[in-house]
Amino acid sequence: MIDCYWTLEVPAEDDSQRQRIIPDGCIEMAFILGDDIKRYISEDEFILQPRAMVLGQTIKPFYIQPTGYVNTFAVSFYPYGFANFITEPIKNLVNKETPIDLLFGKSSAKELEQKIIKATDTKERIEFIEDFFFDKLNNKTTIDTIVKTTIDTLLATKGSTPINIILKQDLSKKRQLERKFLKQIGISPKQLGKVIRLQTALKILLNEKAESLTNIAYKSEYYDQAHFIKDFKEFTGVSPKEFLGNKNMALSSLFYK
């Protein structure tokens, strides 16, 4: 259910840059332990991200900007992992941050947040998180086999397998699958597949910079270079060439190297 844990610590900078965050196909719970972080909702308007929040599935990029010292601890869930812990429809979390007290109750959320803040190290924070989710496990929200099978196949084939093939051309199941995906994952099967395939392309782009865009497209199972660039722009907001070396992409790039 939990894919990984990650931490990020960056000293305060006088001229901190806005950072573009791109979709990764996962839901995350994050705790801001340093200074506040802005999340831009337009070119000039921003909100301060909740100090303890769940970041739902995203299908478009957005900008954040630290106000000082960055210290973040986060939990990244498999696409079908988080629905096991809450009764709220996952689609209600898409493209936004939700304070954890709205999902788990003020008392329970406050207790967890204080434990994470006061923990002496990452190992202790992980132990607190695992105890919390073991207690919260919602046995009634069991992920449907058809949803799990679809996601496992998309992950195993790096998002390249068409949904019709996964369903063995049984189109009667397609609408049913899409409904269950929206409820349990938050986005459609097609959108998740595109995000997973983009992750493969991003890793090649950042780690094998000598590769041509055509080779990256084919290695990532895109039909052609034009298809690759179209999807890349859809989820990052820029072209592959603009992505490389862009200071606004420094944070996103860290997770693919």
Residue 195 and residue 109 share a domain: no
The pLDDT, as a whole number, for residue 256 is 60
Per-residue pLDDT, 106 = 95
My answer on whether 131 and 6 are in the same domain is yes
* Distance between CA atoms of residues 254 and 257, nearest Å: 6
Question: 209 falls in which pLDDT band (50, 70, 90)?
Answer: low
Give me the CATH number covering residue 248.
1.10.10.60
Number of domains in the chain: 2
User: Taking a C-beta distance cutoff of 8 angstroms, is the pair 106, 99 a contact?
Assistant: no
pLDDT at 194: 92
**For the CA atoms of the chain, what is the radius of gyration?**
19
pLDDT value for 28: 95
User: Within this chain, do residues 119 and 157 fall inside the same structural domain, yes or no?
Assistant: no
Query: Which residue range forms the structural domain that includes residue 209?
Result: 145-254
pLDDT at position 166: 87
pLDDT at 122 over 60: yes
> What's the pLDDT band for 14 if we cut at 50, 70, 90?
confident
Q: Are residues 117 and 157 in the same domain?
A: no
